[in-house]
Amino acid sequence: MLALENPPTPKPLAVRERRESANSGRSLKLGKQFDQRTFSVFPMPKLARKLKDDVAAIAIREGRVVGSPGHAKARRYLLGRMQELGVEPFRGNSFELPYTWGGDEFVNLAGAIPGASPSAKPVLIGAHYDSVIPAPCADDNAAAVAIALAAAEMLAKQKLPRDVVIAIFDAEEPWHFQEPSMGSIRFYHDQLRERGAHAALIMDLVGHDVLVPAEMLRSFPWLRWPAKLLPRIGDDLAVPGVRDLLFMTGAESHPGLADVVDSVRVPRRLRPIATLNRYVGDMSDHGVFRTNGVPCLFFSCGRWRHYHAESDTPDKLNYAKMARIARYLAAVAKALAATDLEPHDGASVDTAEFEIRRIRKACGPAFGLVMKWLRIEKLETRADISALAGKLLGMGL
């Protein structure tokens, strides 16, 4: 296990001295809109620069394949950043949570931002730090790790009703994906243990613009002339509005999640769209939380041309968009921390109205044009949403 050279000894979460809030027994309900502008002490340009610096340090040329020197180098950097942020170790005296599986050694990282009620289940923000190939893999998943660090820094300045845990998972990529050695699986079953989680916010592939593949022009010939006026990123089209999309799944995992999301003001030029997890599946670390009944939201900008490729480099990311996502994520985490989620049996909740509302809001005045472009007659039922999701997935979005 690698560690920082002569690091200062952090104060362990388990022995810190703090008292329960006088109101800790009172149910915390949503009574106001949670505004991401609460975090305006972190100006967007400065936040974007910090994110760019973190991505540059994590997305190293040799990559972060589990067990490689690059993997260890990235972990050392993350340990230093967690120490700088002032978060406390989640367990024991170290941010490192090592585990062994099949004779191989792995290390999850976890820190906690203390809230007023240490006995309450924490809100968890998570992302994996390993890479699938020996290449930068900036969007997969250095961007999400950088956003998690930024959210931690913002939340550390807030008064929170409960702890927020920042978990940076090892071994998400093949050949560990959905296997017992997967970092998030081991974290949930072995390291989170009796504390449990109030809710989990998981990210993957959140650093890029949502682009329209140039191949789509073959299916929509009437778009060829307007497309000449649009900016391009590589071979793809950067369509205004579309590039600002952020996909969010999992609101169906608890009856209270949709209200929490609706309580959070969205930053300008960010367009979150909510949809069912089953449309994309458990494509990342959220799977173990979802299948074990933890209220869970998964955030992603979707797969793109550079997914699992050497071309996934830091210069292709949109750091201004990442800054907006970081603020939004921190606000959602703060809202969840202040909200009591009633016990739920884990059954899927009907969120069709919520999804339609988020889609309409994301599209804005262009909603009718988008529906016409996709040849969707109406958006009123689950069947309509499924037809829309099928069109978007079929187009590579």
pLDDT given at position 237: 75
Residue 11 pLDDT grade (very low, low, confident, very high; cuts 50, 70, 90):
very low
pLDDT digits (tens, 9 = 90+) for 95-139: 999 999 999 999 999 999 999 999 999 999 999 999 999 999 999
Domain boundaries, position 281: 33-207+242-348
pLDDT tens-place string over residues 235-276 = 787 777 889 999 999 999 999 999 999 999 999 999 999 999
How many Cβ atoms are within 10 Å of 160's Cβ, its own excluded?
20
Could you tell me if residue 78 is inside a domain? yes
Average pLDDT over residues 187-199: 94
- Residue 371 clears pLDDT 80, i.e. is over it: yes
Find the mean pLDDT for residues 170-184.
96
Give the chain's domain count.
Answer: 1
Say what the pLDDT of residue 147 is: 98
Half-sphere exposure of 397 (CA within 13 A, CB side): 23
Nearest to 322 by CA among 45, 91, 102, 73: 45
Any domain includes 51: yes
Tokens at residue 3, please? 């560690």
What are the CA-CA distances from residue 114 to residues 106, 232, 268, 333 (Å)? 26, 44, 30, 13
Asked if the structure places residue 120 within a domain, the reply is yes
In a domain, 225, yes or no: no
The Cα angle at residue 177 between residues 310 and 55, in degrees rounded to 5 = 40
What residue ranges in 241-367 does DSSP mark as E strands? 245-249, 264-265, 271-275, 296-300
Give domain status of residue 50, yes or no. Answer: yes
Average pLDDT over residues 31-41: 60
Burial zone of 61 (CB within 10 Å; 0-12 exposed, 13-18 middle, 19+ buried): exposed
- 222 within a domain of the structure (yes/no): no
- Size of the chain in residues: 397
> Considering the chain, what percentage of its residues have pLDDT values greater than 70?
84
More confident residue, 143 or 7: 143
Query: What CATH number is associated with residue 334?
Result: 3.40.630.10
What whole-number distance in Å separates Cα of residue 158 and Cα of residue 340? 18
Rounded CA Rg of the chain: 21
Closest CA to 206 of 152, 282, 139, 151: 139
Q: What is the pTM of this model?
A: 0.89
pLDDT at residue 17, as a whole number? 38
pLDDT tens-digit map of 308-362: 999 999 999 999 999 999 999 999 999 999 999 999 988 999 999 999 999 999 9
Q: Spell out the residues 6+ positions from residue 131 whose beta carbon is closer than 8 angstroms to its own.
A: 63, 64, 65, 70, 71, 137, 140, 141, 173
More confident residue, 221 or 140: 140
Do residues 60 and 157 make contact, with C-beta atoms less than 8 angstroms apart? no
Tell me whether residue 237 is in a domain: no
**What is the per-residue DSSP string for 28-58?**
P---S-EEGGGGTTS-HHHHHHHHHHHHHHH
Condensed to tens digits (0 to 9), the pLDDT of residues 276-306 reads 999 999 999 999 999 999 999 999 999 998 9
The DSSP code sequence of 300-333 is E----TTTTSTT--GGGS-HHHHHHHHHHHHHHH
* Separation between Cα atoms, residue 280 and residue 242, nearest integer Å: 19
Band of residue 198 on the pLDDT scale cut at 50, 70, 90: very high
3-state helix, strand, coil in the chain (%, to 5): 40, 15, 45
Element holding 334 (H helix, E strand): helix 319-337
* Summary mean pLDDT of the chain: 88
Tell me the percentage of the chain whose pLDDT exceeds 90: 73
In a domain, 98, yes or no: yes
Collapse the DSSP code of 363 into the 3-class scheme (helix H, G, I; strand E, B; otherwise coil) and give the result: helix
- Residue 34 pLDDT exceeds 80: no
